[in-house]
Structure 1
Amino acid sequence: MLRFRFAAICFAAATICPHSTATAADRAPSEQPPNIIYIMSDDMGYSDIGCYGSEIDTPNLNALADKGIRYTQFYNTARCCPTRASLLTGLYPHQAGIGHMMNDRGYDGYRGDLNRNCVTLAEVLKPAGYRTYLSGKWHVTKQIRPQNEADKQNWPRQRGFDRFYGTIHGAGSFFDPNTLTRDNQYLSPADDPEYGPEDQTNGTFYYTDAIADHAVRFINEHHFETGDQPFFMYVSFTAAHWPMHALEKDIAKYKGKYDAGYDAVRAARYQKMIDLGVIDPNATTNFPVPENSKEVEFWEWEKRNMEVYAAMIDNMDQGIGRIVDALRDTGQFENTLICFFQDNGGCAENYGRGGKGVDRAEAATLPTLPEDYLQGDMQPKQTRDGFPVRTGKGVMAGPADTYIGYGRAWATVSNTPFREYKHWVHEGGISTPLIVHWPSKVTRHGELEHTPGHLVDLMATAVDVSGADYPSVFHGGNRIKPMEGKSLVPTFEGKPIEREAIYWEHEGNRAIRVGDFKLVAKGAKGKWELYNIAADRSEQHDLADEQPERVESLAAIWQAYAERADVLPLNPNKNGKKK
């Protein structure tokens, strides 16, 4: 495996340059700023990891939670690229130019590219002496087919990262990802001299492994080459976003795990979440999985989708374990702040689930692709060895020639016990685990933290712990918008943080939370709903008609936010017109 290859490289580096291991490792943790690692998964629900209620095996995340803090009311933005924009900049997504996806909709909040009135975590931390690394998904620029170097102005290396390995685009095959990039150049996973079959599981390229393995590489190389500096690393997994792709060794662990069906799995999760304390049974409802979302005719196929989904999460957790091991092996574990979170709730999209699929051919029917072929499609037309990529009911997920999502019913299980899914700003779309682990500073081991927070807080937290200065001017004199978040550092010691409100908008879905009350609506024309989250986090009892004055007050605060934060007009179409 890759970690042994890198270990050999690092041993050689230590032999040639023995002084390179001394400065950072020998200094007391209290005398230096911490390393910071932000780890984000993709399209996963609140209950999908073990320490938040899941039956999926996530021992490494569980171990971080056991020696750290689990936050029970942390939020994302309900969609992949807006979440990445918020995380990277400490702003709400429209302020960074990414209120929707990666296309220009004619307004500053919807340009589909990071603007020059924001700074990334890497751009803030580099002047404070940090080395900066990114392994995984980027997805904050529309320039996925650059014609020249200028088109890469919003690629990772141009936005502050010293090293990058990953994908520029937002989704793709786990066995042959499109826009796979090292630093500033596209590459083919079948023609990569730095990460070949000898570095992979049974000689098979699998993107989740590759993301983790390159994070390990960056940790090791940093230690032996620039170990007197702290580092910031953003690890952006694509697990468990569709397509449901996983290695057979991981799928085998979950064979038969979901035979009992959606409702039984959801009920077991709900009870485990109560036992763990991550939800309050008096404030939540384990409402049933919608009957119209359940698959009956193709049940064996449906079970397989969830088995593969679980395997994807399991594999990601294994990779996180290797990252933790690399920190331990290089003496950097104690003074590294690790935060794990998710980009949105479980995904109810119907991708690849329409119609009846065809069986796999006995032999390849298409030409074999050359090793240096660059995959350019989100959904490949074929595998590298010549098999057509298949979708539809009955196509058993897992291998490279399949391309399927796990559907609304399993997403309801993922989001136990919350309403709605990715895209929507009800709790199921925006609730994420947050695990914080920092041995030299965080002494609250295994505790739960109920203070509400949002991804915008992670910039403020990084600035706080690093001693970095958040700039008011950057990018050649451009004025930078002030941070929107609050540092989470006080909560490390159980102290409160004060804020006016937390805000959301995506595709016209909009919400505001002030204290325990949340105002939320579906769609640009949807009626405001009001919930007391402390008493009804599952959002089953709308109080809007009972408390019209509170609705009016919260709606006015949200409107003021929308006007100042480039949110309006709501959900413009691709031509810049309101829908």
Structure 2
Amino acid sequence: MKLASIFPCLFAAAFSATAQAEPAAPRPNIILIMADDMGYSDLGCYGGEIRTPNLDNLARRGIQFTQFYNNAKCAPTRASLLTGLYSQQTGSNVLRNCATIAEALGPAGYNCYMAGKWHQQQLPTDRGFLRYFGLADGACNYFNPGAQRPGEPVPGRKSPGEMRRWSIDGQEIHGYTPDDPNFYTTDAFTDYAISYLEDSQTPEKAGKPFFLYLAYTAPHYPLQAPEEDIARYRGKYMIGWDELRAQRRARQVEMGLIDPAWAFPDRDEKSMPWSQADDKEEWDLKMAVYAAMVDRMDQNIGRLLARLRELGQEQNTLIFFLADNGGCAENVNRTPDIPPGTLASYRTVDLPWANASNTPFRKFKSWNHEGGISTPLIACWPDGIEPGGQTDQVGHIIDIMPTCLELAGAEYPAEMNGEAVLPIEGKSLAPVLRGEIREGHEWLFWQHGESRAARQGQWKLVGYGAQAWELYDMKADRGETNNLASADPDRTEAMARKWFEWAKRCNLSKKTVEMVPTPGASRSGEIAN
């Protein structure tokens, strides 16, 4: 069953704010998979050299988005993903005045499960999910998140003695110490995700659709991976980050992912040329471990898809894959004398390789330039999406929630847990999935820390701290190499004013807004209280 048959039935019965009707066609199962700190070009289907055959196959069988955005940081992206709102409205990790996808899909008859990284204060089982296993915190040791096990070294940690918060079905565990000496978080998250697929097909649940949110920590630091996966990549990165960027961009052009007319940004100003790098073998090892982490994630996605197929649920399951932010340039090398990759190490891939991961864009995680907020998005649904598609229609992480609601025939609630729920900000991607041009967002906005941005059509305004706003034409220059703010001050000022209006509507703090320059006008009356 393809687009022509399933979509008219589904969308005729789609959700509304006032009424819910049972769709005439079977509603899809939905699997939402998220990577952590992965760059735009790391996957094979987005120009990378890392082995990702399962994700590449999903892209061939579905649709690839080339202009999809996140919130540049772990927790804010997850807040928007779960709620369809800007994280500034919900709080980055408190989820106030909102409903989660699970809280909306559950009443519509969906069984909702989660495995992996949550990064919110309340637990998934408090916010609509039936079952949960995973890291409720932000990052942890991949081989042993808890206490030292007999016969093993002390696990590498960000801070001495820290014990990150985990949870199993609502029980909090501060320092999860697995008994299995072969434990690896990416494998474990997948094991539980597969068990949830199986649970959804038990006699008491069979016949109902399911929603599964699988949030990997890979390839977020610390750099740790099984030896056999690292070995596959040792020596491959002796070409250096300059050549790697060039090769990835060339493949992106060949694949039609980017416009060859876009200027290619120079190597980041904080990155040395590869020719000047000391200890090239250690640099090679860092990127080899990073690649192994992405590779291992793809292997596990393959395991999940195989079980989905065995259960007879592949055809009517919509799968999304995306990342929470761009590649990470943070330097958190807590074990400088221990090579990356092992249980005892705690190392990061660092800025030069992150610059390559974010090809063809500038900047990194936490920045609102394209390198920080651009993510691959793959959508695959055999019963509902024609294979082999690629779209440059602009989308944002806030669009995932309304898409799920529309396809599920679910209502968006007016209140949740006694709190009024804010009107949803996202717009459904369903028209794009069925091959149409949707009416997209007139405006999109970002803010994280000192970084900020706004996009209207082909125009993007971006800035950092007290630095002047920059203006870029995304149609001609998505690499953000030609700042047009001085050449078009009227547009720059108008877009800046829109950002200030959004900041006030979303109650950004006075401190956050006061640092931002307002072109051509006093800040009087512009600062949110």
Q: What's the TM-score bracket when you normalise by the shorter of the two chains?
A: 0.7 to 0.9
1:281–1:160 CA distance, 2 compared to 1 (3 A): same
Identify the residue that residue 227 of structure 1 maps to in structure 2: 206
| Contact 2:268–2:362 under 8 Å retained in 1 | no
Amino acid paired to 1:184: G
Amino acid paired to 1:407: D
Counterpart of 1:424 (choices 367, 390, 397) is 367
Counterpart of 1:518 (choices 451, 460, 465) is 460
Counterpart of 2:385 (choices 433, 436, 442) is 442
Deviations 1:441-487 (A, max 9, x none): 101x12211000000000010011000000112212x2100110110
Deviations 1:45-67 (A, max 9, x none): 10010000000000000000000
Identify the residue that residue 251 of structure 2 maps to in structure 1: 272
| Contact 2:453–2:461 under 8 Å retained in 1 | yes
Counterpart of 1:501 (choices 443, 466, 482) is 443
SS of the residue 1:31 aligns to: coil
Identify the residue that residue 310 of structure 2 maps to in structure 1: 329
Q: Does 1:212 align with 2:190?
A: yes
Identify the residue that residue 152 of structure 2 maps to in structure 1: none
Amino acid paired to 1:504: W
C-alpha separation in 2, matches of 1:486 and 1:452: 11
1:186 Cα shift?
Answer: 3.8
Counterpart of 2:87 (choices 89, 93, 99) is 93
Identify the residue that residue 457 of structure 1 maps to in structure 2: 399
1:237 Cα shift?
Answer: 0.4
C-alpha separation in 2, matches of 1:511 and 1:261: 31
What is the percentage of aligned positions where both structures have the same residue? Answer: 46
Deviations 1:139-197 (A, max 9, x none): 022xxxxxxxxxxxx111111110000011101101122323211224565556xxxx4
Identify the residue that residue 81 of structure 1 maps to in structure 2: 75
C-alpha separation in 2, matches of 1:221 and 1:472: 30
| Contact 1:508–1:570 under 8 Å retained in 2 | no
State how 1:363-402 maps to structure 2 within 5 Å: 391-392=335-336, 395-402=338-345
Deviations 1:464-521 (A, max 9, x none): 1000000112212x21001101100101133222221111000021111000000010
C-alpha separation in 1, matches of 2:394 and 2:327: 20
1:191–1:277 CA distance, 2 compared to 1 (3 A): closer
Identify the residue that residue 119 of structure 1 maps to in structure 2: 99
Counterpart of 1:550 (choices 488, 491, 498) is 491
Q: Does 1:484 align with 2:428?
A: no
Identify the residue that residue 348 of structure 2 maps to in structure 1: 405
SS of the residue 1:322 aligns to: helix
| Contact 1:251–1:308 under 8 Å retained in 2 | yes
Counterpart of 2:123 (choices 155, 179, 196) is 155
C-alpha separation in 2, matches of 1:264 and 1:285: 13
State how 1:211-360 maps to structure 2 within 5 Å: 211-225=189-203, 226-290=205-269, 292-293=271-272, 296-352=277-333
Identify the residue that residue 61 of structure 1 maps to in structure 2: 55
| Contact 1:290–1:409 under 8 Å retained in 2 | no
1:220 Cα shift?
Answer: 1.1
1:328–1:487 CA distance, 2 compared to 1 (3 A): same
1:125–1:284 CA distance, 2 compared to 1 (3 A): farther
C-alpha separation in 2, matches of 1:319 and 1:58: 11
C-alpha separation in 2, matches of 1:264 and 1:278: 19
Q: Does 1:185 align with 2:171?
A: yes
| Contact 2:43–2:50 under 8 Å retained in 1 | yes
1:526 Cα shift?
Answer: 2.1
1:302 Cα shift?
Answer: 1.2
Return the TM-score normalized by structure 2: 0.86
CA RMSD of aligned residues (A): 1.9
SS of the residue 2:232 aligns to: helix
1:223 Cα shift?
Answer: 1.1
C-alpha separation in 1, matches of 2:177 and 2:228: 21
Amino acid paired to 1:182: I
| Contact 1:131–1:230 under 8 Å retained in 2 | yes
C-alpha separation in 2, matches of 1:128 and 1:448: 31
Identify the residue that residue 38 of structure 2 maps to in structure 1: 44
C-alpha separation in 1, matches of 2:423 and 2:353: 39
1:227 Cα shift?
Answer: 1.5
C-alpha separation in 1, matches of 2:472 and 2:208: 47
C-alpha separation in 2, matches of 1:219 and 1:91: 28
1:391–1:513 CA distance, 2 compared to 1 (3 A): same
1:504–1:572 CA distance, 2 compared to 1 (3 A): closer
| Contact 1:506–1:571 under 8 Å retained in 2 | no
C-alpha separation in 2, matches of 1:425 and 1:328: 39
1:125 Cα shift?
Answer: 0.5
| Contact 1:76–1:455 under 8 Å retained in 2 | yes
Counterpart of 1:128 (choices 108, 131, 151) is 108
1:283 Cα shift?
Answer: 2.0
Return the TM-score normalized by structure 1: 0.79
| Contact 1:137–1:238 under 8 Å retained in 2 | yes
Identify the residue that residue 411 of structure 2 maps to in structure 1: 469
Amino acid paired to 1:246: A
